[in-house]
Homo-oligomer: A and B are copies of this chain.
Amino acid sequence: MDVTADRAEADCEAVSEMLSRVGDKWTIQVVVSLRSGSQRFNAIKRKVDGISQQMLIRTLKALERDGMVKRTVRHSAPPQVEYALTPLGLSLSQTVRHLADWVVTHREKIERNRLQYDIHKV
């Protein structure tokens, strides 16, 4: 296999991995809730309906590890921890938004297509 094919394959793997990362239901909602600016843990938890403490910790850690979210500790008493999108995270959120808009626009059509397919195949 030549270098270009190797590179294309690595890119494809990366795209696929990133799509399934950002495609995670909780990740999308956390990123969306951070679009309005830096937030404390409990404020995010209130905005993201139904997320557990454990799942929010895990989602924020994965985003921090990617460099999409920055965690800041304010040395007050008690210490306050805030989370904010980095420029990288904000840029991703804008790109994902286009795809999300596409899905919102077309989801009814896709659901109708699936229903029709299932009726014809039974």
Contacts and interface: CB of A to CB of B under 8 A. Distances in A.
A25 B50 CA distance: 29
11 contacts: A9-B49, A11-B107, A12-B29, A14-B104, A14-B107, A18-B99, A18-B107, A18-B110, A91-B106, A92-B102, A92-B106
A28 B11 contact: no
Q: Which range contains the number of A residues in contact with the other chain?
A: 35 or more
| CB-CB nearest 4 A-B residue pairs | A19-B23, A67-B113, A16-B25, A65-B117
Contacts of A98: 95, 98-99
Output the residue of A13, A19, A25 with the most chain B CB within 10 A: A19
Nearest to A104: B11
